[in-house]
Structure 1
Amino acid sequence: MAANTTKIMQKVVALVLAVCVDLSLFYASGLAVTHSVFGHFTRLWVSAGLRFLALTAVSLVTLGEFKPLLLRFITAYCLVPAVFETGTNVFYHEETQCGQLADLRCWLMCAGASLAAALFWEIVIPDTERKETKQKARELFIRVLRLFRPDCLVLLGALMFLSLAVVCEMFIPFYTGRVIDILGGQYQQNEFLTAVLFMGLYSVGSSVSAGCRGGLFICGISSFTRRMKVKLFDALTQQEIRFFEETKTGEITSRLSRDTTLMGRTVCLNVNVLLRTLVKTLGMISLMMSLSWKLTFLVLMEMPITGLLQNMYDTHYQRLSLELQDSMASTNEAANEVVSAIRVIRSFKTEKHEASRYDNCLMITHNHKMCRDKVRAVYLLARRLTGLCMQVVMLYYGRLFIQRGQMTTGNLVSFILYQSDLGDSIRFIIFQTLTYIFGDMLNSVGAAGKVFEYLDRKPEVSTDGQLKPDQLKGHVQFQGVNFSYPAKQNKTVLQNFILELKPGEMTALVGPSGEGKSTCVSLLERFYDPQDGEILLDKEPLKSYDHHFLHKKVAVVSQDPVLFSGSIRNNITYGLPDCSLEKIKEAARKANAHDFIMQLPKGYDTEVGEGGGQLSKSEKQRIAIARALVRQPQVLILDEITSSLDAESENKVQQALANCPNLTLLVIAHKLKTIEKADQIALIGDGQVKERGTHQELMDMKGSYYKLREKLFTDDAVA
């Protein structure tokens, strides 16, 4: 507390001392003018140099340190008056009263102008502390612009109409003032009609060009959004299983639906408006300078204040917008969970609890929106008050200039019309240019950053293999495999795991739940890669095989099969668009699915509903088996599929598989009837193969398999 008080006292002393020193030098400069010690220009720059040295010395002595921000302010404070006086004298051959006199009023005016220049400098030139963040923002923005390259012809057409609209719109206020001068002076019909005609032509040209510009930009945005959605969707489907386990569904869908639209629409529209506003602003400033350069400089003094307000608003608004995006993703996730688990929710009667949870998520989103809207309301109030004060000052000096004959009433009207547009244009330029080129990104580029995170993410399980042999035997070997799930690195699931699956044989994995049976299936499907050891297929590592080839030759049927909306035919041929109907029916017969399919109203064209909801679990299971068999795999994995099949279906499926003599079959089951027929049974425990052999061999050993037989298996049901 004492340290803070000391620092505050140092700053107060430094400020008082700096004001006293600067006023002394200011009045000394006035005395130099009175006694003609120096010439006018010499006095201005000598005074600026002395004030800079004096204020720098005072700052070092009183504060003991010299921050870059303070140096920039002192430099602007000392140089702006000299630059303004010199420019006025050189370009307009005039000297202001403050250039000829030295009093407190002039000192305050110079200090205010210098403070405005310093604020503008601070906004335009970023601090080194924020440079890294701003550089990243610029890189992201440029990257988004490059993605618009396929739409360059459409955008060029839009830019052409943009330029026409700006040029036409810019001259309307000029001719408005011209008409007022004609009506207020000696009326001349030809000049009046000419001015009105040009006003009409420029108005029509501006409207038509603006409409064409907007239509072309919207076409470009639509094309860009479609490409980005496809590109992001493709990148998401390439990710490993771990990514989907760790990333919430609501967040993924929010990026895919909302953020891609936001990054395309907002960025493109803002570039459109930025270019239009920049060209229009430069044109209006040049016309305003021709009407009254003094009023123009007065109006431009609003820029630094507006820029400071805009910079503060951007910082808070962007942060709140990002928080709002995250909260909306969480809300979507809560809704998706309820819809996907509606049966569980209904069985536990937790509808009110889920509604309350969803309401809490919406309340968090509502609070973020309220905070963002409050920040915007305060910003709009401050901006309008600033604009109102500037209009009052402009009207006051405009009246003085008319009385002195320095401008006409029509010129003042034209100037006021330009000024009303210029304020909005300058605010937008500061908002866009300083945000994109010199400052932080808009909330649309923040959304683009989230999309690029997914686009740039490299899957941890590589799919770059190229091996596609003409003949595949299906010989699988687990060699010293060690594996832990990424989310539970401290728990080893498989440890020095060794297992061989031979072609033409059926291998059954048995053991208590959680010992690694399904993990073997996940590794064989390359959902994950082992931390140590290798899995070989025909003596080649799995990762060396082509991704599509591997998953055609190694098929899996899980306990809870997933069907997609569409027909039974589309579900069986999923991923095989050129599969013939004969092959589909053959696979369905092997899976004992053909008979019940033909009894349906539309046969193989029957819709299964969302997630296969129109079919029973047994029917879905048989369609999933047909989907695997139609690929003619060399390695087939059946994970607990017999739990949903009746005895007849199970026997028919097993008979069909027996007719594939070269098929490598891996089975996980809890029915003893299924296990007994296996050529090899592997008992898994503690992440290793504890016992291996046929059913009779393991029973004769009277080991762990014998002891667990009654616990693990039943003859009639699933354990």
Structure 2
Amino acid sequence: MQKMSYLSPLLFLLVDVCVVLGVRQAQLSPLLIPHPFVVLWAGGLLRAFALLFLTYTYPGTLPWMKSFEGIQTVCVFSFLSPAYITFLWTIGRSAVERLWGWHSWEALLQSYVVIAVSLLFWIRYMPNILSKETQKPTKKNGASLQRLLGYMRPHALRFTAVMTLVIVSSLGEMAIPHYTGKMTDWIMNEDEPEAFSHAITVMSVITIMSALCEFVCDLIYNVTMSKIHTFIQGLVFQSVLKQEIAFFDKSTTGEIVSRITTDTNTMSESLSEKLSLLMWYFWRVIFLFGFMLNLSWKLSLFTAMGLPIIWVIPEISGKFYQKLSKDVQASLAKANEVAMETFSSMKTVRSFANEDGETERYQKRLEETYSLNKKEAAAYAVSTWTNSMSSLALKVSILYYGGRLVTGDDVSSGDLVSFVLYELQFSSAVEVLMNYYPHVKKAIGASEKIFKYVDRTPEIPPDGTLAPQKLHGHVQFQNVTFSYPKRPAILKGLSLELKPGQMTAVVGPSGGGKSSCVNLLERFYQPEQGCILLDGEPLQSYKDEYLHQKISVVSQEPKLFARSLKENIKYGIEDASDEDMIQAAKSAYVHEDIMKMQNGYNTDAGSKGDMVSGGQKQRIAIARALVRKPKILVLDDATSSLDTRSEEGVHKALAKMRKELQCSVLLIAHRLSAVERADHIVFLQDGKVQEEGSHDQLVQRGGLYAEFVKKQNTSIHRNAAEETSG
């Protein structure tokens, strides 16, 4: 079967030659066949039928030939010649020679060369286009070039000016080839010396003006695209900030930052640079081909037919080079794996004295790479040679054909010079268009990831409408059930109450749901069952901004920003007075520490607050919460890094504040010294309230909380004994 597959192209060619010769014999008998076009198309049908019949009956047929693309190829192969000859006849060109021209083997061979080139283009481009058109339409997420260009609409006036300058500058660049040809004619004719000097002057002025237009165009375009880039980056950042907290749980920080920075920059650079080049060279191609047509339509048509050939041939030769390049990279990766494995296990290698063995193993990998490198070098040379030879062949062909037109007085020598200069620029411009269009597609690809964020609807309920002038801060959890995505239930019918002017402490083992209560209270997540009431109204009924102005949270590991301490304390409430800020800092027992710093409140906290100690960071975070004068204050193990004196002072300040402001305080702590100060204690375990009451009541009850206190005291005594013995 494999040998039959190898012989199938020869068999197909033999059958086709027989069919063609039969059609040729019919067309050489005009007396018998009064309508040669009928024979021509009948021959095409016979050719297609014979090849399709052979395709589906011959056992050695390649699978590709039975596909939809294979059927397309057979049809093109069979009907190209009849269609071409009929087209020439319909536009009034002489087709008689071609209609009866299969009278020699040279003409038959020439026809196969033309068909082979046509098939080359068809197989390379058309099946891809048709297959894309027949695919089922997929839902787009809005990321398209049209959408990206839509951000340019507010700057339509600027882009109109840019387009005008591009057209003027492109037309100005046509002056040099045009006047070069004219001067060639004048030099050969040895006349009009004044016209020669005048042409030099005009050409210089036009070129300078063209360069000036290009400068102004680039300036306006780049400034405008920078503004659009800034707008899109800000839009993406704003869209990400509006997402629910669960979104940030699923997406890594690196991924989000990469979308906002790397992908946005990639998109903007591709649009800014590559779209500019596409626009610039598009107009150059239009004007260059227009001038080429004006000089000689025959040479222009010859060039248009030759350009695709010099693009496809290097692409074919370059595919082998690209494959070898991938093989070289894969071979290098294998060699690197040997090196990494050896270095990471160096103790084992040394223990078994196998340094020479590992060296030999690595050397074998390098020899494989070297062998591939030699093939890659040869493939690169062939690819470069085919590029140069195909371009050279086109230029020589143009000069040869142009020389014949000059001999026949169809064009002048100067026009031929101008045409060649135009053709050089035209082929380069078309190549730029083909090379940089994929970069614009890359920008669209990068924008797809970006606009996923822009178009994403946050999975949170709509913002509420309540924003009362006076809020008491009375919170009630009523039979709340909650679980995180893909995790078992954390809270199971939880009910607890936070009363104004009181401190409620929630204690219990890790994983019991303490932090989940804080997340629900801040409305980061929504309960699955039950509800949370604030002053008798559902929590989701309040405006989000209002709610977070009234609730302040201090976590165990608070986050400070790389800004001044003043900005950190006033974060989110910049209109607070300096007096309020200082008072809050004093209540948090951090004012004195700040004043000892070199720049006081203007001291930079550093990245993530690493310029201050852990205890100072917690107290600054407490000051940030107190300056807002909240109605609900949540301390999530917020005093764990404080010394005894600072903790005592902070709790005194909190007691004073909750009496003055009548705010509700939710304390989550593991240290007994903090819990004992609470007015009400809730012991939480397995997502349920197991016990609640005052410290004395729960200790006397001898339940879970009493066991918790006993373990705390045992741990304290053990640590004290270890310190004494140490």
TM range (shorter): 0.7 to 0.9
Q: 2:580, 2:36 → 1: CA distance?
A: 98
Kept in 2: contact 1:671–1:717 (CA 8 A): no
Q: Report the Cα distance in structure 2 between the residues aligned to 1:260 and 1:682, rounded to whole angstroms.
A: 49
- Out of 184, 192, 195, the position equivalent to 1:180 is 184
Question: Which of 114, 129, 145 is equivalent to 1:125?
Answer: 129
Taking the aligned partners of 1:584 and 1:601, their CA distance within structure 2 comes to 18
Distance across 1 between alignment mates of 2:493 and 2:9: 69
Report the counterpart of residue 357 of structure 2 in structure 1.
none
* Displacement of 1:138: 9.3
Aligned to 2:244: 240
Confirm whether residue 277 of structure 1 aligns to residue 281 of structure 2. Answer: yes
2:569 corresponds to which residue? 572
1:439-473 CA-to-partner distances (Å, cap 9, x unmatched) read xx622222212211222223334563332222222
Q: Which has the larger radius of gyration?
A: 2
Offset at residue 188 of structure 1 (A): 2.3
Report the AA paired with residue 238 of structure 2.
D
**1:350 — aligned with what?**
none
CA 1:283–1:16: 2 relative to 1, 3 Å? farther
Is 218-227 or 169-178 further displaced after alignment? 169-178
Residue 393 (structure 1) aligned to one of 397, 416, 423: 397
Partner residue of 1:508? 505
CA distance in 2, matches of 1:378, 1:665: 78
Superposed displacement of residue 640, structure 1: 1.0
Whole-angstrom distance in 1 between the partners of 2:422 and 2:613: 72
For 1:63, the equivalent position in structure 2 comes to: 56
Tell me, in whole angstroms, the C-alpha distance in 2 between the residues paired with 1:415 and 1:71: 41
Shift of 1:603: 3.1
Quote the offset at 1:407 in angstroms: 3.2
**In the TM superposition, what whole-angstrom CA distance separates every residue of 1:188-213 from its partner, at most 9, and x where no partner exists?**
22443344344323322321222222
**Which residue is equivalent to 1:652?**
649
Corresponding residue of 2:724: none
8 Å CA contact retained: 1:673, 1:715: no
SS at match of 1:477: strand
Encode CA deviations 1:91-138: one digit per residue, 9 max, x unaligned: 685559545522314423441453356357617834237856899599
The superposition leaves residues 63-84 of structure 1 with CA deviations (integer Å, 9 ceiling, x where unpaired) of 3786543454455445554565
Q: For the residues of structure 1 that align with 2:671 and 2:495, how far apart are their CA atoms? A: 24
- Secondary structure of the equivalent of 1:562? coil
Structure-1 residue corresponding to 2:302: 298
User: Equivalent of 1:249, from 240, 247, 253?
Assistant: 253
> Does the Cα contact within 8 Å between 1:671 and 1:714 map onto a contact in 2?
no
Counterpart contact for 1:119–1:308, Cα < 8 Å:
no
CA contact (8 A) 2:142 2:448 kept: no
> 2:224 & 2:381 partners in 1: Cα distance?
32
Q: 1:170 aligns with which of 168, 174, 178?
A: 174
Distance in 2, Cα, partners of 1:66 & 1:473: 79
Q: What's the counterpart of residue 672 of structure 1?
A: 672
Q: Secondary structure at the match of 1:637?
A: strand
Asked if structure 1 preserves the Cα contact closer than 8 Å seen for 2:143 and 2:448, the reply is no
Give the secondary structure class of the aligned counterpart of 2:639: helix
Cα 1:21–1:87 shift into 2, 3 Å: closer
1:610 and 1:635 map into 2 onto residues whose CA distance is 29
Query: Residues 694 and 230 (structure 1 numbering): CA distance in 2 closer, same or farther, change over 3 Å?
Result: same
- Contact 2:48-2:75 within 8 A present in 1 as well: no
1:69 maps to amino acid: E
1:21 corresponds to 2:19: yes
* Aligned mate of 2:207, from 200, 203, 206: 203
Q: Tell me the secondary structure at the aligned position of residue 400 of structure 2.
A: helix
For 1:12 and 1:527, how far apart are their aligned partners in 2? 72
Q: Residues 647-703 of structure 1: CA distance to partner in whole angstroms, max 9, x if unpaired?
A: 232222222222223211111112222212222211111121111111122122211
TM-superposed deviation, 1:35: 5.2
Contact 1:506 1:664 in 2 (8 A): yes
Change (3 A) 1:132 1:423: farther
Match of 2:580 among 559, 580, 583: 583
Residues 708, 71 of structure 1: CA spacing in aligned structure 2 closer, same or farther, 3 A cutoff?
same
TM-score by length of 2: 0.80
Cα distance between partner residues in 2 of 1:6 and 1:473: 90
Cα deviation for residue 218 of structure 1 reads 0.8
Corresponding residue SS for 2:640: helix
Change (3 A) 1:139 1:623: closer
1:386 & 1:50 partners in 2: Cα distance?
34
Q: Which of the residues 421, 424, 437 maps onto 1:420? A: 424
2:17, 2:456 → 1: CA distance? 57
Q: 1:252-287: CA deviations, max 9, x gaps?
A: 332222221221221233333223323322332233
Could you tell me which residue of structure 2 aligns to residue 454 of structure 1? Answer: 453
Identity of aligned residues (%): 33
CA distance in 2, matches of 1:277, 1:123: 28
2:508–2:684 contact (8 Å) kept in structure 1: yes
Q: Offset at 1:536?
A: 2.5
- Counterpart in the other structure of 1:108: 112
SS in 2 for 1:482: strand
Q: Which stretch shows the higher mean deviation, 636-645 or 67-76?
A: 67-76
Q: Distance in 1 between matches of 2:32 and 2:193?
A: 56
Aligned to 1:704: 704
CA contact (8 A) 2:511 2:686 kept: no
Contact 1:177 1:413 in 2 (8 A): yes
Structure 1: 5+ residue stretches without partners: 325-369
Letter in 2 for 1:674: A
CA positional deviation for 1:306: 6.0
Q: In the alignment, what sits opposite 2:682?
A: 682
- Change in 2 beyond 3 A, CA 1:132/1:529: same
Letter in 2 for 1:675: V
Of 562-571 and 97-106, deviating more is 97-106
* Partner Cα separation in structure 1 for residue 524 and residue 716 of structure 2: 33
Provide the TM-score with structure 1 as the length reference.
0.81
Q: Any conservation in 2 of the 1:476–1:535 contact (CA below 8 Å)?
A: yes
Pick the aligned partner of 2:633 from 625, 632, 636.
636
Determine the C-alpha separation between the residues in 2 that align with 1:648 and 1:432: 68
Residues 302-321 of structure 1 deviation map (CA, whole Å, 9 limit, x = unaligned): 4444665899999x99xx99
Q: Is the CA contact (8 Å cut-off) linking 2:565 and 2:605 kept in structure 1? A: yes
- Compared with structure 1, are the counterparts of its residues 253 and 105 closer, same or farther at alpha carbon in structure 2 (3 Å cutoff)? same
Aligned CA distance change for structure 1 residues 419 and 130 (closer, same or farther; 3 Å): farther
Q: Distance in 2 between matches of 1:196 and 1:265?
A: 39
* Separation in structure 1 between the aligned mates of residue 454 and residue 204 of structure 2, nearest angstrom: 50
Report if aligned partners of 2:52, 2:74 keep a CA contact under 8 Å in 1. no
Structure 1's 139 and 278: CA in aligned 2 closer, same or farther, altered over 3 A? same
Hey, what's the Cα distance between the residues in 1 that align with 2:401 and 2:480? Answer: 85
Q: How many residues align?
A: 653
Q: Secondary structure at the match of 2:597?
A: coil
In the alignment, structure 1 residue 154 sits paired with structure 2 residue 158: yes
Q: What is the CA distance between 1:390 and its match in structure 2?
A: 2.2
For 1:524 and 1:615, locate their aligned partners in 2 and report how far apart those are by CA, in whole Å. 29
3-state SS of 1:624 partner: helix
Question: Could you tell me how far 1:186 is from its partner in structure 2?
Answer: 4.2
Distance across 2 between alignment mates of 1:613 and 1:104: 83
Deviations 1:206-234, CA, capped at 9 Å, x for gaps: 21222222212211221111111211111
Contact 1:113 1:301 in 2 (8 A): no
* Cα distance in structure 2, aligned partners of 1:420 and 1:554: 71
* SS of residue matched to 1:665: strand
